[in-house]
């Protein structure tokens, strides 16, 4: 086992989990207030692109992260208002947002930087990694956490924050009320739309962070459609975790680990076309085994038209 | 709110046209950002798509796109969404590319068998997602998409390694024999166009004139009512997804046997037919005749995009942005996707 679980593997597993985890938290929050958000793929992609733009222009990773959050929040306005005030169908809006993000980033990549496919430049400052002394001497978990970005640490802290907010604060109670019984919440004087709009915008901020981690966290590059299905895996993580941040985090850890194992198998000589599918296969298997994908509130209704 | 609602009432007049107008405006701003002339760019799109000598190219591009539109429209008619078109498309294309190589049959028979096999394979793979929902309660919206990734990965592996044509050095299979290729009609157009026309006519006919079509529409309007009225929802989902996947698989085989004559890795997915098709189907809310029209419109837009990129250096991915703005605007303002209870 220790041959298989190398420090490098653990580190890349923890790194792979971060964007999915942040997106899953975003999805869990939206699910709690009854908005089915499956636009995380697009929200993250916008964040990843904006992070590169910000970092390229300012030579500062911090500015890049800020721009990523701002851009992703702005992009999330479409879902925030579309699914509430304008009463659009969230699924259709999310499909449209994902495609818009894909097209818009590809277009701006060509228009602003004159390249297609991938963009990297020495002027782009990446996120620095926090090194913790002695950490690498702790096997497995220590290996994983030894050199990670502040966003990775922040993501795990946010799991606890989101769980506490949702289940231990009056705001969280109202949010869940809005998700489970919007009519009742309305009667009690809770502004349902306002809760939903703010929550979707917060989900945009989380996905902006996730995108910044993707593009600035490891190799400082933006590639077209670089989210590569992570947003969808996050949607599944929310379903598996039934909207509870801690369970969602556990599901994300499973996928991140599958991702890293795939990477490891690739190192052992398996072609990447086969190893890349590991997280999706694990996801599908987990969904089928859990039997519990039928969630309460708006998430994962088997038939959308009830 | 009321101001917004009134504003919306004014805008609602012809929603699709307004949506296209909004998309054109936003797209024009994007073109300005990139430092080009929007009017010139749009003029190139129109000329590139609709000038008589360019029409065959538009139709050629429309063949797979309208095919994938129909594949998306069938489940959508029943309120279901098949997001796994990419997987079904590549599976069908691989079957279409390999069958004529392994079966030593006279050309046309090999082609017919390849098309049949492609439809069957794509259909069964799509039905797997429906089965997952019925048996394991895995939402089809998610499972159809998640199933797509392994399919694309495995097909890509097969084409790059065991099935690779080692004489070329590129990730592609060997050429399909001449006899098994789809006959050419005129110019760039092959038999595939006629096949898609026939499929479209069949889908419209089934939708409007048969019990199957009626029951599917009933499910789309209200699944519980349909179940109460005696529709077996599980079997219906399997059937709708099988038909959808079968069309996607056929489209894959048509692309291979009609134009590329071999499976070239990535060549099938880079035009994103699946997503354009899904958007066209959403635009018509799954109504097949309208979906075909929307598919033709998107095909014209994209064909024009090639001309725009060639003549004005505005990237043709702009057309994808235009398409998604149309969908988003209609979803938000026109109540697209909203079904009556």
Mean pLDDT, chain A, rounded, equals: 88
Contacts of B4 in chain A (CB under 8 A): 85-86
Reported as a pLDDT band with limits 50, 70 and 90, residue A297 is very low
DSSP strands (E only) in chain A: 118-119, 129-131, 147-149, 222-223
Asked whether residue A299 is assigned to any structural domain, the reply reads: no
Interchain CB distance below 8 Å, A239 and B139:
yes
**Residue A217 DSSP symbol:** S
**Residue B183 DSSP symbol:** P
Asked whether residue A302 is assigned to any structural domain, the reply reads: no
Question: Of the segments A13-27, A137-151, B97-111, B263-277, which one has the largest average pLDDT value?
Answer: A13-27
Residues of chain B numbered 72-101 and touching chain A (CB < 8 Å): 79-81, 83
Asked whether residue A296 is assigned to any structural domain, the reply reads: no
Q: How close does chain B come to A129, measured CA to CA in Å?
A: 32
Interchain CB distance below 8 Å, A96 and B1:
no
Task: Give the closest of B33, B139, B220 to A293, CB-based.
Answer: B139
Task: Give the closest of B8, B136, B337 to A89, CB-based.
Answer: B337
Can you give the pTM of this predicted structure? Answer: 0.89
Asked whether residue A132 is assigned to any structural domain, the reply reads: no
State the Cα–Cα distance between residues A245 and B152, nearest whole angstrom.
31
CB B31 within 8 A of CB A104: no
Contacts of B315 in chain A (CB under 8 A): 106-107, 110-111, 116
* Per-residue tokens: A165: 């907010």
Task: Compute the radius of gyration of chain B from its Cα atoms.
Answer: 21
Q: How close does chain B come to A69, measured CA to CA in Å?
A: 21
Asked whether residue A300 is assigned to any structural domain, the reply reads: no
Interchain CB distance below 8 Å, A284 and B223:
no
State the Cα–Cα distance between residues A27 and A36, nearest whole angstrom.
8
**Residue A168 DSSP symbol:** H
Contacts of B1 in chain A (CB under 8 A): 85
Q: Which domain holds residue A11?
A: 7-121+140-290
ipTM: 0.87
CB B90 within 8 A of CB B155: yes
CB A224 within 8 A of CB A105: yes
**Residue B190 DSSP symbol:** B
Asked whether residue A306 is assigned to any structural domain, the reply reads: no
Q: Directed axis angle between helix A90-113 and helix A40-58, to 10°?
A: 20
State the Cα–Cα distance between residues B73 and A94, nearest whole angstrom.
18
Q: How close does chain A come to B112, measured CA to CA in Å?
A: 30
**Residue B184 DSSP symbol:** B
pLDDT confidence of residue B178: 84
State the Cα–Cα distance between residues A287 and A293, nearest whole angstrom.
7
Mean pLDDT, chain B, rounded, equals: 89
Interchain CB distance below 8 Å, A291 and B139:
no
Taking chain B (341 residues) in consecutive chunks of 10 residues, what is each chunk's mean pLDDT?
44 71 92 88 92 90 96 95 95 94 84 95 96 88 92 93 84 86 86 94 95 94 91 94 97 93 87 92 91 94 92 90 93 63 34
- Report whether pLDDT(A81) > 70: yes
Number of domains within chain A:
1
Asked whether residue A304 is assigned to any structural domain, the reply reads: no
Interchain CB distance below 8 Å, B279 and A301:
no
Cβ-Cβ contacts under 8 Å between A and B: the total is: 170
CATH code of A110's domain: 1.10.3470.10
Asked whether residue A55 is assigned to any structural domain, the reply reads: yes
pLDDT confidence of residue B334: 62
Q: Calculate ∠ Cα B314-B315-B321, nearest 5°.
A: 110
Contacts of A93 in chain B (CB under 8 A): 328, 331-332
Q: How close does chain A come to B106, measured CA to CA in Å?
A: 34
């Amino acid at each position: 086992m220790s041959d298989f679980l190398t420090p490098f593997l653990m580190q890349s597993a923890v790194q792979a989990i971060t964007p999915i985890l942040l997106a899953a938290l975003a999805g869990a929050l939206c699910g709690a207030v009854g908005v089915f958000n499956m636009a995380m793929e697009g929200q993250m992609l916008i964040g990843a692109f904006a992070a590169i733009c910000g970092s390229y222009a300012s030579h500062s990773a911090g500015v890049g992260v800020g721009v990523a959050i701002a851009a992703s929040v702005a992009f999330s306005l479409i879902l925030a208002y579309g699914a509430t005030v304008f009463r659009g169908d969230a699924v259709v809006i999310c499909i449209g947002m994902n495609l818009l993000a894909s097209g818009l980033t590809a277009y701006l990549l060509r228009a602003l930087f004159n390249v297609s496919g991938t963009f990297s430049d020495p002027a782009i400052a990446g996120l620095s990694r926090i090194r913790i002394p002695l950490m690498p001497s702790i096997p497995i978990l220590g290996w994983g956490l030894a050199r990670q970005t502040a966003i990775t640490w922040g993501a795990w802290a946010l799991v606890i924050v989101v769980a506490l907010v949702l289940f231990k604060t009056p705001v969280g109670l109202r949010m869940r009320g809005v998700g489970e019984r919007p009519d009742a919440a309305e009667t009690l004087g809770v502004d349902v739309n306002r809760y939903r709009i703010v929550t979707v915008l917060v989900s945009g901020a989380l996905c902006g962070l996730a995108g910044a981690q993707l593009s600035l966290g490891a190799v400082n590059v933006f590639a077209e459609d670089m989210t590569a299905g992570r947003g969808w895996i996050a949607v599944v993580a929310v379903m598996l975790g039934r909207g509870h941040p801690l369970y969602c985090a556990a599901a994300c850890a499973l996928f991140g680990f599958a991702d890293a194992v795939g990477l490891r198998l690739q190192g052992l000589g398996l072609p990447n076309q086969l190893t890349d599918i590991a997280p999706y296969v694990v996801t599908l298997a987990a969904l089928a085994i859990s039997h519990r994908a039928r969630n309460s509130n708006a998430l994962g209704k088997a038939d959308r038209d009830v | 709110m009321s101001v917004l609602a009134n504003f919306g009432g004014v805008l609602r007049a012809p929603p699709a046209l307004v949506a296209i107008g909004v998309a054109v405006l936003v797209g024009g701003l994007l073109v300005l950002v990139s430092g080009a002339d929007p009017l010139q760019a749009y003029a190139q799109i129109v000329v590139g798509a609709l000038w008589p000598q360019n029409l065959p190219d538009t139709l050629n591009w429309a063949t797979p796109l309208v095919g994938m539109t129909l594949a998306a429209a069938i489940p959508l008619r029943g309120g279901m969404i098949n997001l796994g078109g990419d997987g079904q498309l590549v599976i069908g294309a691989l079957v279409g590319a390999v069958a004529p190589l392994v079966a030593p049959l006279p050309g046309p028979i090999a082609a017919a068998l390849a098309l049949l096999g492609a439809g069957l394979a794509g259909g069964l793979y799509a039905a797997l997602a429906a089965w997952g929902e019925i048996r394991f309660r895995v939402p089809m919206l998610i499972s159809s998409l998640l199933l797509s990734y392994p399919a694309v990965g495995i097909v890509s592996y097969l084409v790059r390694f065991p099935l690779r044509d080692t004489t070329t050095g590129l990730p592609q299979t060997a050429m399909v024999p001449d006899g098994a290729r789809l006959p050419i009609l005129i110019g760039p157009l092959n038999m595939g166009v006629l096949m898609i026309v026939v499929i479209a006519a069949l889908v419209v006919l089934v939708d409007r004139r048969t019990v199957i079509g009626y029951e599917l529409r009933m499910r789309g309007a209200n699944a519980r009512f349909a179940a109460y009225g005696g529709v077996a929802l599980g079997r219906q989902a399997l059937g709708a997804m099988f038909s959808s996947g079968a069309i996607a698989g056929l489209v894959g085989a048509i692309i291979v046997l009609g134009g590329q004559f071999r499976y070239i890795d990535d060549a099938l997915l880079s035009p994103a037919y699946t997503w354009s098709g899904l958007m066209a189907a959403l635009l018509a809310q799954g109504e097949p005749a309208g979906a075909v029209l929307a598919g033709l419109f998107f095909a014209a837009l994209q064909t024009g995009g090639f001309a725009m990129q060639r003549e004005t250096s505005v990237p043709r991915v702009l057309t994808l942005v235009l398409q998604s703005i149309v969908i988003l605007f209609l979803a938000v303002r026109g109540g697209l996707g909203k079904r009556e209870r």
